Structure 1
Amino acid sequence: MGPVAALSALGDRTFGSLRRHRNYRLFFAGSGISFIGTWMQQIAAYWLILELTNSPVAVGALALVQTLPVTLFALVGGSIADRVDLRKMVIACETTMGIQAALLCFLALSGVIAPWQLYVLGLAQGVAVALNAPARHTLVFQIVGRDDLTNAIALSASLGTTARILGPAAGGIVVAAFGPGVAFGLNAVSYAIVIAAILAIRLAPRPQRTAPLPGILGSVGQTFRYAVSTRRVAVTFFTLILVSTFSFNFDVLLPLVARLTLDSGAQTFGLIASVFGAGALTGSLVLATVGRTRMLLVLVGALGFGALQLLLARQDSLPAVCGLLYLIGIFYIIWGSSSLATLQLAAPEHLRGRAASLYFFGFMGGAPLGGLIAGSLTAHGGTRLAFTVAGAMAILIAGVGSIVLLLGRSARARRPRTARESAGV
C-alpha cells in the first residue's frame, strides 16, 4: 500500500462515523457551531464575574451553580432519556439554553447585570445541561450503533475540543472588543442552528422495551447498581468521579492562571484555554483512529493528566504554561472519552441512557465541590498549590484503580472462568 492509500485508509478509519452516517453528519455540524458558542459564553461569564467581584472564590461559586444541577439531576436525565423520544428531549433542552443565553445578552448589553443574575441563570443552564447531556449521547448511540460508538464518541470529543480552541480564542477577542453581552448573544444564535440540524435528522424508532421501567427513583437505583456491577465498570466510574472532582477544575483555574499567575487579561485567558483545547483535539483524533475502548487508556490517561499538572504547578511563563496545557489536553481526552465509551458499551440496552448519565454524573457531579476546593486553594497558595494538589490526587487515584484491577485479575486467574467473564463482561 502506497503512502497516499495508507493516508486515505487512515482517514477513513478516523472519520468513519461521519462517512457512514448522514444523521451523524448533521448532528456533528450543528453541535460544532453550538459548542463554539457555549465556550464563548463560558469565557464571557467567568471573566465577567471576575470583573464584577475580583474574587477567585466567586469564580468557583459560578462554577458551583452551573455544575451542582448535574450532581442532582444527571441520573434523573438518564432515566428520562430511557423513556422518551430522544430528539424531542434534546430540542427542549437546547431551546432552554438558548433562552438563557439571550437573557444574559439582554442584561449585559443593558448594563444592569449583577452577580446574582449570573448565578441564577447559571443554575438554569446547569439544569438544562444535566437533562440534555445523557440524551445527546444516547442519541449518538441510536444514530451510529455499537460498532461505531467509540469512533463517534472520539469525534464528538474532537468537536468539543475544537470548540475549546476556537470558542475561547473568539470569546477572548469578542469580550475584549465588544464586551460579554455580544458573546452571550452569539451563543443564543448558535442554539438555533443546532436545533435546526437536529430537526433534519431522520431516525428509525427505538426498539420496543420488553419490560416496564421502574419509577424514577428505582431507575436511579438501577444506575448505581450498574456502576458497581463489575470491577471494570466500578474502577472506571470511581476513577472518573474522583479525578473530575479533585483534578479537573480548569474552568475555575485557567482565568486565575491568566490574571494571577501570568498577570494578563482576557485575551491570554482565551489563548491558554485554546491551547488546552488543541491538545484535547489531538487526543481525540488519536482515540478516533484507535477506535477501540481499553481500560488501560482510562488509567494511563488519568496518570498522565495528574503528572503533567504537577509540572504545570511550577510554571509562571506563558510558553511553558501553553506547552504543558497542550499535553494535559491530550491525556484529558484519552482518560475522559475512554471512560464514556467503557460505561456505554458495557451497559445493556435498557440502561443506555442511564449509562451515559452515569458518565456525566461522574464527570461533573463532583465539580461543585471541586470548584470550591480549587478556588480556595488558589486563594491560600496561588495556582501552584491548586495544581499540585490536583496532580497528586490524579496520580493517587489512577494508582489505586490499577491495583484494584490487578487484584481482580489475580483472583480470576485462581478460579475457573464463568460464562459471564468469558464473554468479557
Structure 2
Amino acid sequence: MTSLAIALRTRTFRSLRRHRNYRIFFYGQLVSLAGSWMQNVALAWLVLELSGSPLAIGVLAFCRFVPFTVFGLAAGVVADRMDTRKLVMWTQGGALIVSVLLAVVTLTGTATLTVVYILAALGGITLAFDAPGRQSLTYQMVGPRSLPNAVALNAGLFNGSRVIGPAIAGVVIAVSGTGICFVINAFSFLAVLVALSRLRGEELHHVERDPSARIIEGMRRALGFVRRDPQLRVVFGVVAVVSTVGFNFHVLVPLLAADTLHVGPEGFGLLSAAFGLGALVGALVTATFREASWRLFATGATGFGVLALALAPVHDAVPAGVLLFAVGISFTLFTANANALVQLGAPDHLRGRMIGLYLFAFVGLAPVGGLLTGWLADRGGTELAFAVAGVTSLLTIGVASFLRARAQTPGTVVVVAPRS
C-alpha cells in the first residue's frame, strides 16, 4: 500500500470516525448542499433566460452576496452570543422558505428579474448569518485538534455537492426547466434540519461565549485583535483581494458555457461539476495534512493564478473542463487553509467574529467583484476576466509573501496552534 493510500485511510476521514455529532451533521449536509448547488445553477440560468446579459449575472451576484457586506461582521457577533445550533436551524428554515418562493414564481411564470433579485438577496441574508454559525458549530462538534481536518472535510462536502448538484441541475433544467431545481432544494433542507435536531448537546465542545457583546463594540474588538496579529492581517488581506477579483465562478462559469464555449445548460452543469470535482479532490488531499500552514495557503493562491491565466484563451469545452478541475484543487487548498488559520488563531470568545471577518473578506466584497467580473466579460469576454483574475492572484500572493518574509526568518513555515 502506498504512503498516499495509507494517509487517505488513516487521516482523511478521522473527524467522521471520532465525532458522532459531526458525522450526523455531515450526512445531513450531504443532501442539503447538493440541493443548494442545484439552486445556484438554476438561478444563474434563470437570469440568463430572462435577460441574456452578462451584466445581469453580475447583478445577481451582487444581490446574493451584498448581505455579507452589510451583515457579515454583525453575524459574527450574533454567532458569539447565541446557541449556534439554534442559530443554524433558524437560518436553514429561512433558506427553505426562500427556495419555496423561487419555485412558486418560476413554475407560475411570474418570475421577473426584480423578483429573482429580491429573493436572491433574501437567501443571501440567511446565508450571511448561517455561515459563521455553521463554522462555529463545527468547532464545537470536533474541538481544536480535529478542526483542520473537519474544515477540509467540510470543503470536500461543499465541493462534492458542487459536482453532484450542477450535473443534476443541467439535466433537470434541460428537461423540465429551472423551477423543479428550486422544488428539489426546498425538500433537501429537511435533511439538515433533522440532523441538527439529533445532535447531542453534552458532546459539544465547550466554548467561552460573550453574551454581553454588542454589535459595534464586538466588531471593534475583533478588528483590534486582527490588527495586533501579523499572520491574520496578511491572511485576511490576501483572501479579500483574491476572492473579490478572482473567485467569481458564479459569474464566469455560466458566461464561459453560454458565450465562449456555446455548450448550453448541460455543458454548464458539467463545467461546474468539473470545478467541483477538482475542489473535492483538493479537499481530500488537504484533509491528509495534520496542520494548516502559510505554505499550503500560498501554494493554492499561486496555482489558481497560473491556471486562470491558462484558462483565459481556451475556447474548447474539454480543455476548459480539465483546467477548471485543476482550478478547483487550488481553490480548496487556498480556502481550507485560510479558514483553519483564522479559526485556530482566534480565542473562543472571538471565534464567531473572526469567522465573520473571514467571510466578509471572502464574500463580503463579492458584490463588487461580481459587477467587476460581469463588466470585464462584457468588455472583453471571459478571456479578459480570467486573465485579470490570474494576474491579480499572482501579484497579491507575491507581495504578501515578500512582506511576510521580511518580518520572519526566511524559510519558516508558520503553523498555527489553537488558542483558547
TM tier, smaller: over 0.9
**Of 60, 70, 82, the match for 2:80:** 82
Structure 2 residue 31 is the aligned partner of structure 1 residue 22: no
**Quick check: 2:207–2:348 contact (8 Å CA) kept in 1?**
no
Partner of 1:417: none
Residue type of the partner of 1:407?
A: R
**Quick check: 2:139–2:205 contact (8 Å CA) kept in 1?**
no
Specify the SS of the correspondent of 1:112.
coil
Partners of 1:166 and 1:343 lie apart in 2 by 29
Q: CA 1:8–1:254 in structure 2 vs 1: closer, same or farther (change >3 Å)?
A: same
Partner of 2:236: 237
Partner of 1:401: 400
**Quick check: 1:143–1:203 contact (8 Å CA) kept in 2?**
no
**Quick check: 2:7–2:288 contact (8 Å CA) kept in 1?**
no
**Quick check: 1:98–1:188 contact (8 Å CA) kept in 2?**
yes
**Of 36, 46, 49, the match for 1:48:** 46
Partner of 2:173: 175
Partners of 2:182 and 2:122 lie apart in 1 by 15
Matches within 5 A, 1:19-418: 19-204=17-202, 207=206, 209=208, 213-410=212-409
Partners of 1:9 and 1:295 lie apart in 2 by 21
Structure-2-length-normalised TM-score: 0.95
Partner of 1:418: none
**Quick check: 1:300–1:398 contact (8 Å CA) kept in 2?**
no
Q: CA 1:15–1:209 in structure 2 vs 1: closer, same or farther (change >3 Å)?
A: closer
Higher mean Cα deviation, 87-96 or 71-80? Answer: 71-80
Figure out how many residues of one structure are paired with residues of the other and give that number: 416
Unaligned ranges ≥5, structure 1: 414-420
Partners of 1:171 and 1:112 lie apart in 2 by 21
Deviation of residue 303 (structure 1)?
Answer: 1.1
Specify the SS of the correspondent of 1:82.
helix
| Identical positions, percent | 40
Unaligned ranges ≥5, structure 2: none
Structure 2 residue 9 is the aligned partner of structure 1 residue 11: yes
Higher mean Cα deviation, 289-298 or 385-394? Answer: 289-298
**Quick check: 1:75–1:223 contact (8 Å CA) kept in 2?**
no
Per-residue Cα deviation, 1:212-267 (whole angstroms, up to 9, x for no partner): 64311111112222232221111111100110001110100000000111012111
**Quick check: 2:274–2:324 contact (8 Å CA) kept in 1?**
yes
Q: CA 1:214–1:238 in structure 2 vs 1: closer, same or farther (change >3 Å)?
A: same
Residue type of the partner of 1:260?
A: D
Deviation of residue 137 (structure 1)?
Answer: 0.5
**Quick check: 2:82–2:211 contact (8 Å CA) kept in 1?**
no
Q: CA 1:174–1:228 in structure 2 vs 1: closer, same or farther (change >3 Å)?
A: same
Q: CA 1:16–1:51 in structure 2 vs 1: closer, same or farther (change >3 Å)?
A: same
Residue type of the partner of 2:404?
A: L
Deviation of residue 12 (structure 1)?
Answer: 2.6
Per-residue Cα deviation, 1:188-233 (whole angstroms, up to 9, x for no partner): 0011111111111112377474876431111111222223222111
Residue type of the partner of 1:354?
A: R
Partners of 2:250 and 2:352 lie apart in 1 by 26
Structure-1-length-normalised TM-score: 0.94
**Quick check: 2:140–2:206 contact (8 Å CA) kept in 1?**
no
Partners of 2:417 and 2:173 lie apart in 1 by 53
Deviation of residue 129 (structure 1)?
Answer: 0.4
Residue type of the partner of 1:308?
A: L
Q: CA 1:178–1:13 in structure 2 vs 1: closer, same or farther (change >3 Å)?
A: same
**Quick check: 2:293–2:416 contact (8 Å CA) kept in 1?**
no
**Quick check: 1:70–1:361 contact (8 Å CA) kept in 2?**
yes
